[in-house]
Chain A
Amino acid sequence: MTAAVNTAQNTSTVRPKSDRRETLAIGGVILGILIVAGVAISQRQIVNPLPRLFDWQLSSFYDLNKTDQAIHTSLMTAIPELWLLHGDMLSLQKRGKSKEAWPNIEQLAAYYYVAPFAEDLFWTQNGKVKWERVTSFSFEGSTVYRGYGGTAEQQHAYLIVLSHAHKGATFTSAGNIWMNPNPNAPAPSTVVRDSLIRNGWKQVVPYSGEMERKRIRS
């Protein structure tokens, strides 16, 4: 430490030997901490596994009421079931034992007990939706089932669109679910995406276990 004596005014100023260096050092340390923290935070950001939704899409997790969510859950399980049955029916068709390639609602409900087609307690509690197999889209390579006339509060109409993207595969789960706020929305004349959107249909994007796994492990 040095002392400068001002003899003219009889006062003395005492400065620490390294005041500027200390200030600079402390500033440097703070800056370093901020940089390290900033880098660490940027590296630790949780990846949002949810795909960014368009305004023509709905999140099954956030956007659906309980009735629509229950029907969506059952439809998601029905999709692999439908493909398996389709595989069976194609085999029967080849052997001349079936004219149909896809199960009808009666088969799904009465024989296989597949929700939401079976008219059971689930069906009663979730708006008694009427279901039909729409066959007119076969030229587009898609098979469609429609649910309409649900009586629950704010219930949607439903479409299951099973696409032939994996033609030949009998054990796949390729399929999309669309909902329309009009519970009696008519069957669309085409399942081309833009046409569905123009007619008020919204694609439901499921929050799957795969997305949750990525969120947890990110």
Chain B
Amino acid sequence: MKFQQRFAALLLVALSTLLVSVAEAKSLRVGITLHPYYSFVANIVGDRAEIVPLINAGNNPHNYRPQAEDMRRVLSMDALVVNGIGHDEWAFEIIQAAGRKDNLPLIYANSGVPLIPIAADEGEAKVVNAHTFVSITVAIQQIYTIARELGKLDPDNADFFRKNARDYALKIRRIKAKYMGELAKLDTSNLRCATMHGAYGYLMQEFGLQVVAVIEPRHGVSPTARQLGDTIDKIKTANVNVLFAEKFFASNLAETIREATGVGMYAFSHMSDGDFAAELFEHETKANLQTLVEAMRSINAAPSASSAE
């Protein structure tokens, strides 16, 4: 009898181990291109999928050149989450080079996102702003899209992904509500800001704030001397009082503009630096919103709007 009990127990352990390993073997390997997508996917899948960054952390996604090891990584993926609207074009080169163009399911995070032009673009020359991941409202839409598409690839976990997506959306919406409350105590009517990079249009839009000028004429392109001169004139004419520069992609252009115009300078995170982490998006979003609050406080503390010039 004892032997039978032991045998049954051993059988049960062996069976459980087998089931766990089968379940693990079945879990998706989901590739991502940009840091925020790591956070989104990590919060959606929990421990029921493996996340594989397509490129190593520490690279600038604006000018990334594909490496051989990227192709090795893409070969092991079951799906890849992409921005797909201009911020990770190198991913398509890697997919093509690895021969996975026809057999790698791509999840276009932005497929349902209503795009806006880069702030301060006027007329027919409007260019799409690809930085939908530096936002909260639009990020939520991407989170839902990713969860839905992952659910199609892994139907057994579709409900789990959907629930996690909703919980995560509410969590980051609460972050927004907290800072909305902070900003509501301040007078935001005097804010006239410029940004070095066109990355913050969606973020500013959801706080009802507008960007007067973007220094880079196009995504990742430095201005010519003449364009820089025009921008400095525009900043002076529009009484811009805050310049939001880049936290990680330092540029001495920002310092030049600050010296020429006397605007207050603050740095936003583009969410493209540091290690890939589930908490990165929340952490960097809080940092950006805290920066926004501090910028607003400094404007409020200034004797008058005109004296900021």
Contacts and interface: CB of A to CB of B under 8 A. Distances in A.
Interface of A: 60-62, 66, 69-70, 72-74, 76-77, 80-81, 84, 112-115, 118, 120-126, 171, 173, 206-210, 212-213, 216
A209 B177 contact: no
Interface string B183-214: 11000100000000000001001111110000
Contact of A77 (B108, B110, B137): B137
Given A113-B176, A213-B85, A121 B208 contact: yes
Nearest to A62: B126
Nearest to B117: A61
By size class, the interface of chain B is 35 or more
Interface string B117-149: 100000010101000100001101100100010
9 contacts: A61-B115, A113-B174, A113-B177, A118-B180, A121-B188, A209-B113, A213-B84, A213-B85, A216-B86
B112 A115 contact: no
Nearest to B206: A122
A76 B166 contact: no
B112 A210 contact: yes
Interface of B: 84-86, 89, 108-117, 124, 126, 128, 132, 137-138, 140-141, 144, 148, 162, 166, 169-170, 173-174, 176-177, 180-181, 183-184, 188, 202, 205-210
A112 B184 CA distance: 18
Given A209-B111, A210-B108, A120 B180 contact: yes
B162 A74 contact: no
Residue of B112, B132, B138 contacting most chain A CB atoms (<10 Å): B112
Given A84-B166, A115-B206, A216-B86, A171 B140 contact: no
A77 B165 CA distance: 13
Residue of A77, A80, A118 contacting most chain B CB atoms (<10 Å): A77
When A and B form their complex, which 8 residue pairs have the shortest distance between CB atoms, in order from nearest?
A: A125-B208, A209-B110, A206-B114, A120-B180, A210-B111, A212-B85, A113-B177, A77-B141
Contact of A209 (B115, B117, B144, B170): B115
Contacts of A126: 208
A121 B173 contact: no
Question: A-side binding surface: helix, strand, loop or mixed?
Answer: helix
Contacts of A60: 114
Contact of B115 (A77, A113, A114, A208): A208
Given A61-B126, A124-B208, A209-B85, A112 B116 contact: no
Given A115-B206, A208-B114, A121 B183 contact: yes
B180 A209 contact: no
A76 B124 CA distance: 23
Given A77-B141, A171-B162, A125 B207 contact: yes
A115 B137 CA distance: 8
A126 B188 CA distance: 13
